[in-house]
Amino acid sequence: MMVDMNNRRALKDAPIIDAAYGRSPSRRPVWFMRQAGRSLPEYRQVRKDIAMLDSCFRPDLLAEITMQPVRRHDVDAAILFSDIVVPLKAAGVDLDIVPGRGPVVENPLRCSNDIEALPDVAEEQLAPIAEGIGLILGELNESQALIGFAGAPFTLASYLVEGGPSRNHEQTKALMHSNPELWHKLMQKITPMVITFLKAQISAGVDAVQLFDSWAGFLTQRDYRRFVLPYSTEIFAAVADAGIPRIHFGVGTGELLGAMAEAGPEVMGVDWRVPLDAAASRIRASLAEATPGADPESTALALQGNLDPAILFSGEKALEAEIKRVCSEADRAIARGNARGHIFNLGHGVLPQTDPGMITRAVEIIHSN
């Protein structure tokens, strides 16, 4: 499948894109994971009579919900309203998103036959998403980027194998370790679906993409490298020629930042546990070791993160202090040459009970730092 570059609009001075490529942004860019969602009354209103996964296949709703936080908070990017399980749903996997719980899969994958029977997704099955992207691009201005995304194979596999959200991911790890060959077969089934999902969004015109490996932090680095990294690397390579920033994110990945950076993104997302300057040193050391003789500049990536979402409940004084700390840690990493830029974000998603007024205030503070 060729990525159609003709649909891509020309952004002008988009701070997120400039930061991702190590140019000087006109202001410090910010967006928030889960900026669209239950923290917003206008979201709860439009979603009140429609199920989460149904809304993801309605281009009008998808565009409206994606735009809500952009209108309200003046963030520098919209993130496509969708979910990591959308390509699975589009392919016909029997699953639902249960409110307050997350994705639940009717028939968890346990044996070779189950994995064999996992369907592939065709780009046509994602047509409503592409249509929604077209509507969103018509509403954004030329400095606001639209970020597309997909779940990484490990995180998707965890839902498929466990059958739902998991505290310990024990069935997923059991599959890896008891039957590595079958694990790799599962990864080889999921990886093309992720690539199709991302390429459908890229063809429709998104300006950047993020790969969410939310639960990768449950793995040892050794297992991550052996069972996961090859597939995430394949995904980043498959979308490299789109020429748009690629972001890689997971939670609790302090010990994996270097390995995740080796998958090939321009930007590494960092959760709140590791200061951004420490994260940048880890990333750079890993990339330098993995690519001996590489241009030292190429081993410095852009950073995305990493305010603790709970700080949005801590009052304006604490909010300002923590934002300043995050910004100065990012700036230190850039000054030392260990990072090329900074995109402000939370260390994970906006919590549903967050006061949206505090999110708007956070954006103002970030833009003035």
The reply to whether 130 sits in an annotated binding site is no
Residue 242: how many other CB atoms lie within 10 Å: 21
Cα–Cα distance between 155 and 196 in angstroms, integer?
17
Q: Binder to ligand CP3 among 36, 133, 146, 319 (CB under 6 A)?
A: 36
The one catalytic residue in 27, 34, 72, 225 is 34
Site for ligand CP3 contains 41 (CB under 6 A): no
Phi, psi at 89, each rounded to 5°: -60, -45
CB 148 within 8 A of CB 205: no
110 catalytic, yes or no?
Answer: no
d(CA 270, CA 255): 11
Segment lying near ligand CP3 (by CB under 6 A), choices 6-14, 34-42, 119-127, 233-241: 34-42
Q: How far apart are CA 224 and CA 199, in angstroms?
A: 25
Stretch that binds ligand CP3, among 20-28, 30-38, 229-237, 286-294 (CB under 6 A): 30-38
Buried b (16+ CB within 10 A) or exposed e, 21-45: eeeebeebbbbbbbbbbbbbeebee
Letters for 58-97 (x = contact with ligand CP3 by CB under 6 A, - = none) are ---------------------x-x-xx------------x
Q: Is 269 helix (H, G, I), strand (E, B) or coil?
A: strand
Extract the tokens encoding 101. Answer: 């719980």
Stretch that binds ligand CP3, among 29-37, 229-237, 302-310, 313-321 (CB under 6 A): 29-37
In the bound state with ligand CP3, the residue whose beta carbon lies nearer, of 74 and 289, is 74
Q: Are 209 and 247 in contact (CB under 8 A)?
A: yes
Using CB under 6 A as the binding rule, whether residue 108 contacts ligand CP3 is answered as no
Active site residues: 34, 38, 47, 83, 159
Binding site: what residues are annotated?
A: 34-38, 83, 159, 214, 348
Residues that bind ligand CP3 (CB under 6 A): 33-38, 47, 52, 79, 81, 83-84, 97, 99-103, 149, 155, 212, 214, 349
- Binding residues for substrate are 34-38, 83, 159, 214, 348
